Structure 1
Amino acid sequence: MNLVTLQTNIKDDFEQNLKNIIKQINTCKDNDFILASELALTGYSYDNLEKAANFSEKAILKLLEASSNKKIGITLIVKENGNFFNRFFLFYKTKILYFQDKYRLFELGNETKYFTKPKDDKKIKIYKIGELKVATLICFELRFTKYWDRLKGADIILVPSMWGKDRKEHYETLTKALAIANQCYVMASNSAYKAYCKSSAIIDPFGESILDDSKEVLSLEFNKYKIEQMRKYLNVGI
Structure 2
Amino acid sequence: MTTSKKELVALQFPFFEEDYRQNLQTLTRLVEKAPEGAVVTAPELCLTNFSFDKMEEAAAFTEEVKERLLKLSETKTLTLTMTEKIDGKFYNSAKIFHNGEEVYSQPKAKLFSFGDEDKYFTPGDSKK
Same fold (TM over 0.5): yes
Structure 1 residues 82-101: aligned runs within 5 Å: 82-101=88-107
Match of 2:71 in 1: 65
Residue 122 (1) aligns with residue 127 (2): yes
The structure that has the greater radius of gyration is 1
Return the letter of the residue paired with 1:109.
G
Return the letter of the residue paired with 2:15.
I
TM-score normalized by the length of structure 2: 0.92
SS at match of 2:15: coil
Match of 1:208 in 2: none
Match of 2:9 in 1: 4
Match of 2:28 in 1: 22
Match of 2:61 in 1: 55
Provide the C-alpha distance between the structure 2 equivalents of 1:56 and 1:20, rounded to a whole number of angstroms.
15
Match of 2:3 in 1: none
Structure 1, unmatched stretches of 5+, are 124-238
Aligned residues: 122
SS at match of 2:60: helix
**What is the RMSD of the two structures over their aligned residues, measured on CA atoms?**
0.8
Return the letter of the residue paired with 1:25.
V
Provide the C-alpha distance between the structure 1 equivalents of 2:51 and 2:22, rounded to a whole number of angstroms.
15
Return the letter of the residue paired with 2:8.
L
Match of 2:116 in 1: 110
Percent identical among aligned pairs is 36
- Regions of 4+ moved over 3 Å: none
Return the letter of the residue paired with 1:39.
L
Structure 2, unmatched stretches of 5+, are 1-5
